[in-house]
Structures are given as structure tokens and as C-alpha cells.
Amino acid sequence: MLNRRHFLRAALASGLVPAIGGAARAAKPAGHPVVVELFTSQGCSSCPPADAFLGELSGRVDVITLGYHVDYWDYIGWPDPFADPLFTSRQRLYASALGNRTIYTPQMVLDGTLDQVGSRRFEVEAAIDRLLTANPADRISVPITLSRLSDGSIGAALPTADVPAGSTVLMAASTSRHVTEIRRGENAGWTLTNYDVVRRLAKVGDYSGRAVDWAIAPESFPKGTDRLAVWLQAAGNGPIMGAAKLDLPVVG
């Protein structure tokens, strides 16, 4: 069984401390890309730097970025058009899994195993690089293959692997970049650019460790979607054990 505390100790005990910009990025990545989930809001005045940083991280091939817009800032005066209570619920589940007493923005959760303030670039980059160079024996990595099928759907394939019971495969359809003029609230007067804005979060299916293939229909994705991420996660918002992304034609 995968133990979160053991995983964290192993993943973060590296003696290599990368510099900003990641001199350690020259090291060969181990396993799957690190999934960085940012919990943010257009109504939060401290979020824009983290949003911009997420955009920078989205250019890395060894990172998969997801921007979840939460709804608890909407009361200030600017209802975030991308906010969804489902994303707030996911953040609360992480708070419970990670032992946090509160939820906050901007929060980045990395691989489902640890969190950082999303604007703290050095800490986030250091954590990403330590996860990438973790001992493969301590960081389960199940390859996920995404492909375009002849009928227009997206195929998601996983091989046979040894994983904890209750593991699930999730998907997020997102818009890679969106610009919004903010007219009210804490960010009134600003024009904000958000990256990898999650428009739909859904469960693809359960994964017992047996090889499996799914077909995902992009017709169900919201308008403006142009990217798909699929990942394997342990039960209870546990560690992420595999991930892949695929750029799509813009859904009209």
C-alpha cells in the first residue's frame, strides 16, 4: 500500500537542491510528469502572480499544469466565470488528505503529495525537481498513452501495473490560455491572463491494475477547450501515479 508520509520523505530527501531556473533540470526525469494543480480565482488579488507562473510551468514537458478556479471569492464583487464548486470541493479534499486546516488561494498541489503557495517560485520549482529525481522505487509511475482515434474520440490506455486498491483515472478538459478584463472586485481594472483553465473535471474510470483502454468523447467538452489531461490517482485525493496531456483542436 502506498504510504503518503513515506512517499514524501523519499521524494523530498534528495540532497540536490536546484537553483531557480532549474540547473537540476538537466537531470533525466524519473517517471511521469509532475501534475501541478493551482487553486486560484480572478477575484483574488494575490493570485495573478501565481497564474502567470502557472503559464511558465505549462511550457515544461515534464510538468502538467491545471488551473482550478474556486468559487469562494465570488462574493467580493467579481463572480469568476470559470469558478466551479466542484473545484472548491477538490481543494477541500486535498486539505483533508494533506493535513491542512484551511484552504487558500493561490495554492499549488504537486502530484497530490504536497502543497506550496503558488507564487513562491523557488519552493515550487525545487519541489517539482525533487519529485522528478525521486527514487523510482518510491514514486509509482504508470505510463498513460493518449491518442486520437479514427472516430474522433481520444483513447486513454494504461498497462498492467501494481497500484493501491481504489485508484482512479481522472480527466480535465481545459483552455490553455484565456484573457479576461476584470471590472469589479479586488482586481478591478486589471486584464488577467489565466492558463490551463479547467473547464471540465470528470472521472474516466476505476483502475485495478489490469491493462485497460478508454475512449473519451471530446464533444462533451465545453466551448474553448483545447487541451486534455488524464492522470491516475490513489484514493482519497492521494498521490498521482501517472499522467499525460494532449493538445486538441479548439472545441467550438
Angle at 140 between CA 144 and CA 160, to 5 degrees: 50
Say yes or no to pLDDT of 147 above 70. yes
The answer to whether the bond into 106 is cis (omega within 30° of 0) is yes
Beta-strand relationship, 154-158 and 212-216: antiparallel
Confidence check: pLDDT of 3 > 50 = no
Describe the chain by its helix, strand, coil percentages, rounded to 5: 20, 30, 45
Please give the CATH superfamily to which domain 4-12+33-247 belongs: Glutaredoxin (3.40.30.10)
Q: Is the pLDDT of residue 182 over 70?
A: yes
Q: What is the pLDDT of residue 30?
A: 57
Per-residue pLDDT at 220: 86
Q: Identify whether the C-beta of residue 207 lies closer than 8 Å to the C-beta of residue 144.
A: no
Mean pLDDT of the chain: 89
Q: Is the separation of the CB atoms in 13 and 138 below 8 Å?
A: no
Structure-block grid coordinates of residue 242: 501517472
DSSP state letter for 249: P
Cell, residue 192: 488577467
Q: Quick one: pLDDT at residue 10?
A: 37
**pLDDT value for 137:** 78
Range in 54-58, 169-173, 206-210, 217-221 the model is least confident about: 217-221
Q: Which three cell numbers stand for residue 137?
A: 522505487
Whole-angstrom Cα distance, residue 4 to residue 112? 9
The whole-number pLDDT of residue 18 equals 31
Lowest model confidence (mean pLDDT) among 2-16, 52-66, 97-111, 238-252: 2-16
Burial class of residue 99 in the structure, from the number of CB atoms within 10 Å of its CB (0-12 exposed, 13-18 middle, 19+ buried): exposed
Burial class from Cβ neighbours inside 10 Å (0-12, 13-18, 19+) for residue 109 reads buried
Question: Could you tell me how many helices (H) and strands (E) the chain has, helices first?
Answer: 4, 11
| Residue 19 confidence (pLDDT) | 30
In sequence order, what E strands does the chain have? 34-40, 63-69, 107-110, 114-117, 145-148, 154-158, 168-181, 191-206, 212-216, 227-233, 240-247
DSSP assignment letter at 125? H
| Nearest in space to 178 (alpha carbons), one of 216, 221, 227, 219 | 227
Q: What is the pTM of this model?
A: 0.88
* pLDDT exceeds cutoff 90 at 16: no
| Ramachandran angles phi, psi of 11, nearest 5° | -70, -30
pLDDT in tens, 184-197: 999 999 999 999 99
DSSP lists the bridge partners of residue 242 as 232
Cα-based angle 148, 60, 32 (whole degrees, multiple of 5): 65
